[in-house]
Structure 1
Amino acid sequence: MKVAYFDCFSGISGDMCLGALIGAGVDFEQLVGELKKLPVEGYRLRLEKVKRNGISAINFFVDVDAHGQPDRHLKDIEEIISQSSLPEEVKEKSKAVFHCLARAEAGVHDTTPERIHFHEVGAVDAIIDVVGTVLGLHLLGVEKVIVSPLPMGRGLIRCMHGLIPSPAPATLEILSERKVPVYGTGVNGELVTPTGAALAATLGDAFGEMPPMTVTRAGYGAGKKTFKHPNLLRVIIGEAQDNCKNTINLALPGGQLHGPPNHHGHN
């Protein structure tokens, strides 16, 4: 069984996921070709190789045309995904991620998921981040996704509504719904974005430490912000060992979880 372990020592976002998956073996040109099946326009995909604290990583970009993108409701995004000719599994999982985001935003703003305007996460870059991450795992043949405990930043962050606390309220809604394990880092800023949280919570089959596995590849996706620590997401691909099933069961919400690693280096 092929397993992907998301080692989120510096958090998770959509562009970090795509960078890490490309670093772990997803062919960029194939990814671009498949994403063109989505009926959306006004963007260009590119990547660059960077180094963070000496570690080589992929920095993934979605360049949006100057005229921008329209605000979208959940049903608009569902239609975009449904109208594509992508594999059904990719379409269903991608829509599940956006449902997760819509529920969280609705909870924060005291409304219903159907009435949410997706603003930042409704733009084409978020659609690419979500569908591209699901597609990347599909192209790698990943059967199980395991996610490490997620590090939480602090302080204030700026969004379309102005200054809000970090972690963002929508991020906490998502993580509390799925009971994803978290820990504080003392880092000022946003480490886990709402899109990153939704990808982890929706695609993660389990949460905890790395399971017994034979590692075949690893990739690093770069975040856009600079911290003292390497702002990277690491995705480790491997073949699960015979006792991996037991490890996954222990890591599921409600099961036993080991504490997070020592991250004093973040301070």
Structure 2
Amino acid sequence: MKTAYFDCSSGIAGNMVLGALIDAGLELSFLKNELKKLGVLHYSLLVTKTKRGLVSGTHLNIKTEREKSPRHLKDILKIINQTKLSRDVKQLSSRIFKRLAEAEAKVHGEPISKIHFHEVGAVDAIIDIVGTAIGLEKLGIEKVYCSPIPTGHGTIKCAHGILPIPAPATVELLTGVPIYSSGIKGELVTPTGAAIITTIASDFIDMPRLKLETTGNGAGSRVYPSLVNFLRVYIGESFILSTRDTIVQIETNIDDLNPKSYGNVISKLMKAGALDAYTIPVTMKKGRQGIALTVLCEPDKRDAIVTRIFNLTTTFGTRIFLVPREKLSRKFKTVKTKYGKIKVKVGSLGQEVMTIAPEYEDYKKIAKKHHLPIQKVYKKITECL
């Protein structure tokens, strides 16, 4: 899957997003031809190669005529949707503007229909947003992820007066997004940039594993003495979006331990810190029947687990491996059922929920309490999920 990852270590603005996509390979001539479909807007694009510090990238400057009056959301959506742009471009552009309008409406305590966009409704914001949608489609990007977002500090003068940084609309747009203070004085995240990235990004995470194909640097308009003001985009084919780690796998074959002892062995290994422990029947040399004991644990538990295996079994030795592991992201939720509250485990691959399973000990207690077969309880609970 073609994936883009935006590294916002210097912040994000609308022109930085579009500049990064141009720097990553979006042809300027194609972009200009597509933007001409907007028709009624009067503007010119100034695209230049520039440096911030020792890093080169693309800076996008949009020259526009002064707007006669602020635009409402319906005016902007009309401009977008009456064009011959592709359906996906129009839908994504509209979603971004609707998200921006909702944030402004909440901040001002006004119905969305009464919101005037002021600076945000100007032509340059329309170009930034529609241009981004055009770029994502042209570059074939199917999935977008983003880093946590830094916020500057201080104040900024705008149509509503002097506001704290981040601006109120920006704060509203970033609700639910991991943010942090970078210590830089200035507006690192604009409302347009926040609206774009919070609409297109599936998650805000460390960089996922990619087979990297290209990168692009979108230069910010401001120059900071202690900040290389670029938005970097990485584009490539993504690998499976599971969580990866490495654990220890400990194995031993046993043929002379009383079979009744294995329950106690596994119980005590789990209490000693094992992630899992299980047995498999095996046929050993000379045709003897035996048991293969396998224990999984974190690396720092290795010695404790090996010691417990020697204490609890008759083995003379173990085999130890470092094993890569791919995992779904896990979280626990409590759900209500006809039998009461029960804890369930949710496994996700990226943002997609792959599996939901009730906790065994919870539905075991319910079965015992209501004198019901455990499988019947399990079935009823899963029907509620």
Tell me whether the two structures share a fold, i.e. TM-score over 0.5: yes
Q: Does 1:73 align with 2:62?
A: no
**In the alignment, what sits opposite 1:236?**
234
Structure 2 regions of 5+ residues with no counterpart? 244-327, 330-347, 353-385
Q: What residue identity is the alignment partner of 2:126?
A: I
Q: CA 1:36 to 1:54, structure 2 compared with 1: closer, same or farther past 3 Å?
A: same
**In the alignment, what sits opposite 1:214?**
211
Q: Does 1:42 align with 2:39?
A: no
Root mean square deviation, CA, Å: 1.8
* Cα displacement string for residues 135-177 of structure 1 (whole angstroms, at most 9, x for unaligned residues): 101110000000110001111111111210000100011111x
User: Where in structure 2 are the equivalents of 1:81-96 lying within 5 Å?
Assistant: 81-96=80-95
**In the alignment, what sits opposite 1:15?**
15
Q: CA 1:48 to 1:238, structure 2 compared with 1: closer, same or farther past 3 Å?
A: same
* Cα displacement string for residues 34-87 of structure 1 (whole angstroms, at most 9, x for unaligned residues): 01101322211120110111111101011113x435311000001000011111
**Contact 2:241-2:349 within 8 A present in 1 as well:** no
**In the alignment, what sits opposite 1:258?**
none
Structure 1 regions of 5+ residues with no counterpart? 254-267
Q: Percent identity among equivalent residues?
A: 50
**In the alignment, what sits opposite 2:135?**
136
In structure 2, distance between residues paired with 1:183 and 1:251: 22
State the TM-score, normalizing by the size of structure 2: 0.63
* Cα displacement string for residues 224-261 of structure 1 (whole angstroms, at most 9, x for unaligned residues): 111121001001101111x23668956659xxxxxxxx
Q: CA 1:30 to 1:245, structure 2 compared with 1: closer, same or farther past 3 Å?
A: farther
Q: Does 1:197 align with 2:207?
A: no
In structure 2, distance between residues paired with 1:157 and 1:190: 7
**In the alignment, what sits opposite 1:99?**
98
**Contact 1:39-1:83 within 8 A present in 2 as well:** no
* Cα displacement string for residues 86-121 of structure 1 (whole angstroms, at most 9, x for unaligned residues): 110110110000111111111111101111011111
**Contact 1:207-1:251 within 8 A present in 2 as well:** no
In structure 1, distance between residues paired with 2:78 and 2:38: 10
State the TM-score, normalizing by the size of structure 1: 0.90
Q: Which structure's relative contact order is higher, taking Cα pairs within 8 Å and 6+ residues apart?
A: 1
**In the alignment, what sits opposite 1:262?**
none
**In the alignment, what sits opposite 2:120?**
121
**In the alignment, what sits opposite 2:181?**
184
Following superposition, which runs of at least 4 residues in structure 1 exceed 4 angstroms of deviation?
245-253
User: Where in structure 2 are the equivalents of 1:146-157 lying within 5 Å?
Assistant: 146-157=145-156
**In the alignment, what sits opposite 2:64?**
64
Q: What residue identity is the alignment partner of 1:127?
A: I
Across the two proteins, how many residue pairs are aligned to each other?
A: 250
